[in-house]
Every structure is written in structure tokens, then in C-alpha cells.
Amino acid sequence: MTQDELKTLVGQAALQYVTPGTIVGVGTGSTVDKFIDALAASGMQIAGAVSSSVRSTERMKALGIRVFEAGEVESLPVYIDGADEIDHGGHMIKGGGAALTREKIVADLAQRFVCIADESKLVRTLGKFPLPVEVIPMATAQIARRFAALGGEARLREGVTTDNGCQILDVRGLQIVDPSGFEAEVSQWPGVVTVGVFARNRASVCLLGTAEGVRTLD
């Protein structure tokens, strides 16, 4: 199966975690696009969705799915999103699509995070994928120096401004052996908007697309 077919498989499989009549948290990316398409094609009646990006909002609206603002809901039963890397504990690196801040906000509203990914995303230790960090532009150089002190090489993602008007640093060369401690530490550096390690908001379930079918990690 191609990577695209694996994404279709897990996008479809995620439907079993959606309860008709509820509001669903929806992430961002090519795998989530498959989930949105599967949801629309299924004919399942949901109340609507809270979206983590302009990209997903536009796709859902085009397919007739009502989109609520995050501030309109107190909690969500489930949040469905992809990942750039996920470990066996459900900790993730996210932000390849630059939507990490809104993704973390919507994930934080949810009782359950269902991660959908092809099996290439499963790793033993987070850090091979360059870690996205959303930063306030005036702090970019200072934050890059802090990462250098940890052995990381931070590069500005050229030509990208986030949905929040900020910049993205991609940090190579890190081995994130303690995702919770790392997230807590980097999150409090001045100028960091969001670090792309999702440990506090880790996945409760991961649906991995493999050649043998969907493998569920929970």
C-alpha cells in the first residue's frame, strides 16, 4: 500500500471514535484531510467540529460540516489529528503543517486524543523529525541560542507565517528522552508560543496504518 492509501485507511478507521450528534475536534494535515473526507462521505450526522486551522476549516465547510469556534465549547469528547512522530507512550512531535498552537488548544479541550498516522511515524525516541516551535519573531534568535545550548540546530522556516502571525523554528539534532520534562521546560522560555512536543496532551489512542491493516496502540 502507498503512504496515501495508509492515510486513507486510518482516516476511515477514526470514524469509529466519533459519536453522532457530538462536536468533534479536528486537527490538520494530509491524514486529517482523509478523515474529513471520510466523515463527510459517511453521512454521519454530527453537530459540527472545532477546527485547528484555516486549512481544515475550509475543507470542512466546503463539505457541509459546521465549524464552531473553540470558545463556543467547554469540552469535546474526541480530538482527531495526525503526527509527525509518535512514540509508544503516545507522546508526539507535531507542527509539520505549522498548526501546532491551535492543535494544542483544541487537543486540550478534548477528553480523548485519537492520533491517526501511517506506521513510518512510530519511533522509539522523539527527535529525528525536526521539532517545530512557534515563536514570537523578536525572540527567534534568543530561542535559537537556547536550543544550541541543548545540542539542537534551529532554523527559521522560510516564508511561513502561522495562523497566529508568528514564525516557526525547526530544530534538528535533539533526542527527546523525557517528552514531559522537555515540553514543560521549553514552554516557559520567553517568546515561545508553542513547542511541538505533545506530552501533556499526548494521544490516548493511536491508529497506525500498516501493510497488514490498522494497528491500534492504546
Q: Which residues are annotated as a binding site for substrate?
A: 28-31, 81-84, 94-97, 121
Residue 199, helix vs strand vs coil: coil
103 is catalytic: yes
Q: Residues 94, 104, 134, 209: which binds ligand 5RP (CB under 6 A)?
A: 94
Q: Show contacts with ligand 5RP in window 63-92 (CB under 6 A).
A: 81-84
For ligand 5RP, the binding residue among 23, 86, 99, 197 (CB under 6 A) is: 99
CB 85 within 8 A of CB 126: yes
Is 11 an interacting residue with respect to ligand 5RP (CB under 6 A)?
Answer: no
| Residue 28 near ligand 5RP by CB under 6 A | yes
- Grid coordinates in use for 99? 498548526
Instruction: Spot the catalytic one: 69, 85, 103, 185.
Output: 103
Stretch that binds ligand 5RP, among 28-36, 41-49, 160-168, 202-210 (CB under 6 A): 28-36
Query: CA triplet 161, 126, 152: central angle to 5 degrees?
Result: 60
Pair 80, 27: CB distance under 8 Å:
yes
- Residue 202 burial (10 A CB sphere; 0-12, 13-18, 19+): buried
Count Cβ atoms below 10 Å from residue 161 Cβ, excluding itself: 12
Could you list the residues that contact ligand 5RP (CB under 6 A)? 27-31, 81-84, 94-100, 103
